[in-house]
Structure 1
């Protein structure tokens, strides 16, 4: 991706986000990420090690992977800045020149701010046939409000168009309405108070919706209510009708909107399980879908990848780490395994 100014891409993004008051926001990954802040962090040592890795006789892939998959995203940004100051070279461009294929893509993603990575993945999906709704759903539905705002701001800056405009032009019908509703970030926040009356009203609205308004009623409730409230709606729907809400979706809807509503229901019920399912599907293809593996492992490595690993093992009876070991080939294997981190017994 080209940028007109002489600044490196990551720091231009940081500059954009700083105007939103989001650049210095503390990461909310707590203890559920596989990748934590490296406590013995020395930016000078890391710069020197990366410099040796790309200027020695032959590129030292192991050293590059070891540094970048053992530092938080914030620490990687500090390394990039220090590398630029000490060598007058752009670390991202230097590594791109030294690497290729999937390992190059992983390294680029690791060195990008999270919002830029999401924006780029969203744009690629919207412009590529066949994957728009799947990837857009994943990014728009699983990011918290501040992450989503950052992504959409960066999207507009780099691509000179609002993400909503691309959604309008690349999707259609009720699926477009659903993705636009998610992109607006209008989902209610959980206040800590359970509104039993609203839950009952929503269940009745879902049951009674008929004709042209059916899809819009379901989309509105699925995209505007907070997940805690929706779980209650899902449970009450089953109590009142004797039918799981997902089964009702299968009976009432068809095609893309059915798939989208089922995906959204899965995100609402259990986001780590939803992402574990996506990883499993990516590993089951004849050739692993590296783009999905990279996107989820990188984007969730500092948030909830431990939870995703637990759901993966629970559902499929085999650890994510072992599954990656068995399926993934090539020079990116060590990087993906490093992000996954460890075996689940």
Structure 2
């Protein structure tokens, strides 16, 4: 397999720092000319023009630049760009384009609300979002959620999920995870490993302590805890979770461990599972490409190609069609040979 220069750079950064850097496929456009973009959009929408123009304009910009387009369109055209796009588009393409125009916090809040709307709850989406956002991002999401939906995120989580999964999500929503530091606390690693290994007199783990450790320790610290846990117990942390916990709580813990170990690989797996088989989960596919396009989609592409033997770009191309395909491929950006 021949790696592209983008992939080599991604791997080099991972090897050099021991962590994944900001490796999005979408960067701020250097020669950003918002007036021209507004004119293109206004003309296209007025004449019911080519959808590809809308895709080209909006996917070449980062989120801050899209917010500027929204403001300038309102000022110059005297209309709401979002409303006009809703009238011009439909289906999966409409969902992606409108998602791109929301701020990251507003988009995450929308996806969380949708995951809890109606009779069923999409626990996988709840876990995905709450496990992969930083403390600051979680605070922003909760503020937007309250503003948009006139209720608190934690109240909706409490009413739509069951314990102990509820407790896990609420702990994540608090955003108390420690920041990374260059200090390795070996005593705390030993302590956390022993706590996770302790089954107590009832031969069952202490759920509250598991939640505290997995939602508050830094990713690097947890990776060391997981390594020590496997050495001490002759079984990895995932197998223990499967043995001792059940249902949504088990799945939530497994998601959290996967994210702490390797976030890009977690998303690569999510994308593959969204596209494999007969049907495609368009909501998951679009959400990940939108939310990770400015963060680590290059790294996700590397992990996808490495694990599944086919590029993410090619997989998307084979699974979805039309303007929706064009939009997603534009976010993915390039083929990995």
Normalising to structure 1: TM-score of the pair?
A: 0.88
Give the C-alpha shift of residue 128 in structure 1. 4.4
User: Equivalents in 1 of 2:292, 2:147: separation in Å?
Assistant: 24
Does residue 169 in structure 1 map to residue 174 in structure 2?
A: no
Match of 1:37 in 2: 28
User: Equivalents in 1 of 2:73, 2:148: separation in Å?
Assistant: 24
User: Equivalents in 1 of 2:308, 2:119: separation in Å?
Assistant: 30
Indicate which of 186, 198, 204 corresponds to 1:208: 198
Name whichever of 179-188 and 217-226 sits farther off. 217-226
Q: Match of 1:96, SS?
A: helix
Aligned ranges 1:107-186 → 2 under 5 Å: 107-186=97-176
Residues 130 and 312 of structure 1, relative CA distance in 2, 3 Å threshold: farther
User: Equivalents in 1 of 2:233, 2:280: separation in Å?
Assistant: 40
User: Equivalents in 2 of 1:262, 1:326: separation in Å?
Assistant: 29
Structure 2: state its 5+ residue gaps: 1-19
Q: Match of 1:331, SS?
A: helix
Give the C-alpha shift of residue 304 in structure 1. 0.4
Indicate which of 76, 82, 86 corresponds to 1:86: 76
Name whichever of 119-128 and 307-316 sits farther off. 119-128
For residues 95-116 of structure 1, the C-alpha deviation after alignment (integer angstroms, 9 at most, x for no partner) is 1111111111111111111110
Indicate which of 269, 276, 279 corresponds to 1:287: 279
Indicate which of 40, 43, 55 corresponds to 1:52: 43
Does residue 70 in structure 1 map to residue 60 in structure 2?
A: yes
Name whichever of 189-198 and 290-299 sits farther off. 189-198
Name whichever of 64-73 and 285-294 sits farther off. 285-294
Match of 1:12 in 2: none
Match of 1:296 in 2: 288
Indicate which of 178, 181, 186 corresponds to 1:196: 186
User: Equivalents in 2 of 1:318, 1:38: separation in Å?
Assistant: 29
Structure 1: state its 5+ residue gaps: 1-28
For residues 197-247 of structure 1, the C-alpha deviation after alignment (integer angstroms, 9 at most, x for no partner) is 011011111111334662222222111111111001000001111111111
User: Equivalents in 1 of 2:21, 2:128: separation in Å?
Assistant: 22
Indicate which of 309, 314, 319 corresponds to 1:327: 319
User: Equivalents in 2 of 1:173, 1:84: separation in Å?
Assistant: 45
Give the C-alpha shift of residue 278 in structure 1. 0.5
Contact 2:176 2:216 in 1 (8 A): yes
Contact 2:138 2:174 in 1 (8 A): no
User: Equivalents in 2 of 1:174, 1:115: separation in Å?
Assistant: 26
Residues 130 and 286 of structure 1, relative CA distance in 2, 3 Å threshold: farther
User: Equivalents in 2 of 1:147, 1:31: separation in Å?
Assistant: 15
Normalising to structure 2: TM-score of the pair?
A: 0.90
User: Equivalents in 1 of 2:279, 2:192: separation in Å?
Assistant: 43
Match of 1:18 in 2: none
- In the comparison of the two structures, how many residue pairs are matched? 316
Contact 2:135 2:174 in 1 (8 A): no
Contact 2:313 2:336 in 1 (8 A): yes
